[in-house]
Structure 1
């Protein structure tokens, strides 16, 4: 991974995530921390220059090298520890090492609300200055600062953070350039004195953090091919989990538009039941059971709080249901393309697919003996309450997985997910020896299947296909998931005809739209990356393996230098758009590699 960029140029998505499953940050190509929220991913963006329009000097933590001519970056192997090398025109160079501490100690996981940066002179006589300009109130206010001999305190409204450092405080406060002649260490964390020798402790933290991540990656069951891409996607997906509760956010950002000046700017720093289902499903394929176990705990709390009633499509990482949508007026937006939204009104929507997406990951907990906690009869009673909602709502209108804000229909994908909920509950009941409950859920699954076949099938002059909803004959890419959900077999003529219709209607060269009809904001202008990965899966199921491999390779070529993908992609220019990094898209990388890779026996 390498690249160059002049400081202050327009924002782009060539960003590298760091984090520790408590806080996260996005580092730009020059090593600037341009996005990071405190005290967790859905908190106040203390670092928000990514969404500050042309004012890239506020809401940022950046080291600026005098006479800089280049910047290159790489991750330490199998970790989210980022190394940025800045070089000047005289041959001087510094190396910036960025990470958020994460390691086990004293019987618990140490994952503070903190960012660590270590700066080293690696060539010549580099001169550097630091800009640390945190904001609060969603970009509205600058932090008040006070300082001591070896620290600077930043007052952020009702909160505060402390920078502990062995760099010269006077130079830092006055933003003076100075020669870097020894390693310098920076710990921006809780407002409390740093205990111990800063240099020794931060190097120990880096070593233990690296060991934690390398050990975690070592436990993954990865495919033979595309290993680096899969590992990098898996690490990023884990960074999207808020470990305290087990919630998994859809992305680390808010309000990166789906296309230029589209107004399709949404806050994705929340736990969508749908997105999280796909995330744990992909990590399951790699054997990352720790993410699944934490997430199942989050789901149990959500189900308990619902008391058998409606499940929302999304929640905060703490499980809060009210996510009032507002606009952060102080932030101009990505490249000035506002609005910047905080919160997401989709929490008020009705989306019936969520019932299946709760039941499906929970099913594994009845069968997988590797798990610490195996589910039993009491858990089944709670899960049946979710199934009852799926049965009640399978033929009722909802906003659908694409979250239409101004219309509702009975969406086929939602109905299929409700079928899947009933079908899997029958499997669990059989496993538990509950014959009467198995019969009940089997009958309900059969009834939903019959309803879908009767209401969603669209007869055409060429035979027919499933439609995206019961009320209309338009198509959407989610129909390609009918095989993955086991509603259809891959050789079923109905799937093959539906795939043919979807591909003809929604494929744009090497990319896939989620739908081609107008929505609340007009016609979609970009491809939806996960839908392209669904296309790849469908190509394999249809026996078009070589075409699928070529398309998968093309998609990997659209990743950032850090190995990430956003939500959307301009199918004309190849530019990435939408929130970043998008879990859906990273899931596509993992699933595609697992599906297409040559087997390990080829090298044994």
Structure 2
């Protein structure tokens, strides 16, 4: 029913334009959205506002509402929500953030656009627009004119321009909707032109942009809709101004109920971004790769002696001090809500490989507008030197342990990959001496891994040089081309990982206790790594079944968060999680029947 407080869930649908984004719940409520960019102040924060879900939200409440349904317009992030009332009246709400080319540039304002259409009966609607600022600490102050409301949000102001009755909006009073109504919440400047015609033009142009972008993707024959939705959402996770790609759009959705494993994922992890551009590159989305490579070049330029930290802000800022948003209760009241991420201070040496590998493509791919040159190679060699120096040194690992360090096998393999790919690039540039130099280093790292990570007693690789415990990242040794899928050592390691970490249809990242105790949920990308390993080792039927089982856990919007309760199937962790969407794309491409089957 309208106005009732319901428990927060991850049944959310993202809209966005690669500058701002919002997560929309099943009842057409904006429950999460930050301005002026993804890591900004969440003016829509009711997702993390505990029982105060009527604050930090933008919702259209239909009197007597009994049901709702949602869908995206085909091949776009334009969302349509239908609300139906007990008397048969209904409205459709179309939500999008404008994005299209105009005047020689991409128009992607800090703005959200909503269209309300009465589609049955005589619907009565209440507009609840209650943004907050200061991470939930204060309500907006307002001023208004005939067709607009200005919302003062700390040091920024947003303006709602609308052809709906402004007085009803301000007072939250219900009224009868007899014609289409248009809402544009954006910069504090007068809306130019007729709002109805301009917003309809924005919608048409935005639809055209996204459908043409999707048209250029190379998608598999099977699971096309799932692949397209994952690809669109991954693109929404890129901050186009700089090219940075965030790990997720949210902060502090716990990895498990009451676990306090609440992290801010609105930043650019070198690791997560590598997997994202790798997946989109397989679909031919070179625009995302090109912009991300520009971001990496800036990071490399600023790195001292090739030293790279695990994550940066979308603007390339290095220091991301972690604090608590005291005025937000957290998802279902499960705080804390964190702002910033102290992992920026950690040492995670896998990042060197994840810098080199996507950049290496720029030396080979003639489709790129800007191919890499010898100057780029010189900078990249500095990163390779750091990989060489750190390949056998303790780090926090890809799972970002906060209280212990070991020499993690995954990090060492990534350092090997950095040197291996640099040898390939040197060969491309005709630098024979550098080919031998980097091959020698790659071979030396391999020897160190074989000596220290392989356990004769256990009969498998260990997650670290110091112990033989297992983690799911060992399955990536094939993807990184360190081992072949039929290599006896990989097969034995796969057998051990599956035995120790698989829980039914799902995979833990590790089973050993960490800083917060034993993991309680499966890590979705690890399940996709399991699916890939099953297929590559000849168990393709099982891999397909497991992939379909994973897809059954997606939200109605076709997306996944970071974690999943392997007993109840409930999603946990930040949303939408790029890792998990990468898994959908990679698994679909690997398992799909070929297009030749229909030709």
Q: How far apart, CA to CA, are the structure 1 residues paired with 2:533 and 2:87?
A: 54
For 1:467, the equivalent position in structure 2 comes to 462
- Residue by residue over 1:292-315, the C-alpha shift from the partner in whole angstroms, topping out at 9 and shown as x without a partner, is 000000000000001324201000
TM-score (norm 2): 0.99
Structure 1 position 288, deviation (Å): 0.2
Structure 1 position 541, deviation (Å): 1.0
For 1:411, the equivalent position in structure 2 comes to 408
Q: Secondary structure at the match of 1:201?
A: helix
Q: How far apart, CA to CA, are the structure 1 residues paired with 2:240 and 2:399?
A: 27
Q: Secondary structure at the match of 2:84?
A: strand
For 1:173, the equivalent position in structure 2 comes to 170
Q: Secondary structure at the match of 1:186?
A: strand
Structure 1: segments with no counterpart, 5+ residues: none
Q: How far apart, CA to CA, are the structure 1 residues paired with 2:492 and 2:2?
A: 47
Q: Is residue 2:528 matched to residue 1:529? A: no
- Residue by residue over 1:546-579, the C-alpha shift from the partner in whole angstroms, topping out at 9 and shown as x without a partner, is 0000000000000000001000000000000000
Q: How far apart, CA to CA, are the structure 2 residues paired with 1:408 and 1:511?
A: 27
Q: How far apart, CA to CA, are the structure 2 residues paired with 1:51 and 1:459?
A: 49
| CA separation of 1:502 and 1:562: change in aligned 2, threshold 3 A | same
Select the residue among 230, 251, 273 that pairs with 2:248.
251
For 1:454, the equivalent position in structure 2 comes to 451
Q: How far apart, CA to CA, are the structure 1 residues paired with 2:168 and 2:277?
A: 47
| CA separation of 1:460 and 1:30: change in aligned 2, threshold 3 A | same
Structure 1 position 54, deviation (Å): 1.0
Q: How far apart, CA to CA, are the structure 1 residues paired with 2:466 and 2:126?
A: 62
- Residue by residue over 1:227-262, the C-alpha shift from the partner in whole angstroms, topping out at 9 and shown as x without a partner, is 000000000000000000000000000000000000
CA RMSD of aligned residues (A): 0.8
Q: How far apart, CA to CA, are the structure 2 residues paired with 1:564 and 1:489?
A: 31
Select the residue among 175, 184, 192 that pairs with 1:195.
192
Q: Secondary structure at the match of 2:160?
A: strand
- Residue by residue over 1:179-235, the C-alpha shift from the partner in whole angstroms, topping out at 9 and shown as x without a partner, is 000100000000010011100000000000000000000000000000000000000
- Residue by residue over 1:501-523, the C-alpha shift from the partner in whole angstroms, topping out at 9 and shown as x without a partner, is 00000000000000000000000
Select the residue among 407, 432, 436 that pairs with 1:435.
432
Q: Is residue 2:559 matched to residue 1:574? A: no
Counterparts in 2 of 1:33-432, with a 5 A limit?
Answer: 33-432=30-429
Q: Decide whether the 8 Å contact of 2:216 with 2:284 is kept in 1.
A: yes
Structure 1 position 28, deviation (Å): 0.1
TM-score (norm 1): 0.99
Q: Is residue 2:521 matched to residue 1:499? A: no
Q: Which stretch shifts more, 216-225 or 5-14?
A: 5-14
For 1:15, the equivalent position in structure 2 comes to 12
Q: How far apart, CA to CA, are the structure 2 residues paired with 1:194 and 1:172?
A: 18
Q: Decide whether the 8 Å contact of 1:565 with 1:585 is kept in 2.
A: yes
Q: Secondary structure at the match of 1:69?
A: strand
Q: Which stretch shifts more, 303-312 or 347-356?
A: 303-312
Structure 1 position 459, deviation (Å): 1.7
For 2:553, the equivalent position in structure 1 comes to 558
For 1:480, the equivalent position in structure 2 comes to 475
Q: Decide whether the 8 Å contact of 1:34 with 1:61 is kept in 2.
A: yes
Q: Decide whether the 8 Å contact of 1:5 with 1:29 is kept in 2.
A: no
- Residue by residue over 1:64-96, the C-alpha shift from the partner in whole angstroms, topping out at 9 and shown as x without a partner, is 000000000000000000000000001100000
Q: Is residue 2:508 matched to residue 1:518? A: no
Q: How far apart, CA to CA, are the structure 2 residues paired with 1:114 and 1:121?
A: 23
Q: How far apart, CA to CA, are the structure 1 residues paired with 2:483 and 2:154?
A: 55
For 1:444, the equivalent position in structure 2 comes to 441
Q: Decide whether the 8 Å contact of 1:46 with 1:135 is kept in 2.
A: yes
Q: Name the count of aligned residue pairs.
A: 599
- Residue by residue over 1:24-70, the C-alpha shift from the partner in whole angstroms, topping out at 9 and shown as x without a partner, is 00000000000000000000001000000011000000000000000
Q: How far apart, CA to CA, are the structure 1 residues paired with 2:285 and 2:291?
A: 11
Structure 1 position 5, deviation (Å): 9.5
Q: Secondary structure at the match of 1:61?
A: strand
Q: Decide whether the 8 Å contact of 1:19 with 1:80 is kept in 2.
A: yes
Q: Decide whether the 8 Å contact of 2:3 with 2:61 is kept in 1.
A: no
Q: Decide whether the 8 Å contact of 1:5 with 1:71 is kept in 2.
A: no
Q: Decide whether the 8 Å contact of 2:357 with 2:417 is kept in 1.
A: yes
Structure 2: segments with no counterpart, 5+ residues: none
Q: Secondary structure at the match of 1:154?
A: strand
Q: Decide whether the 8 Å contact of 2:2 with 2:65 is kept in 1.
A: no
Q: How far apart, CA to CA, are the structure 2 residues paired with 1:158 and 1:27?
A: 25
Structure 1 position 7, deviation (Å): 4.4
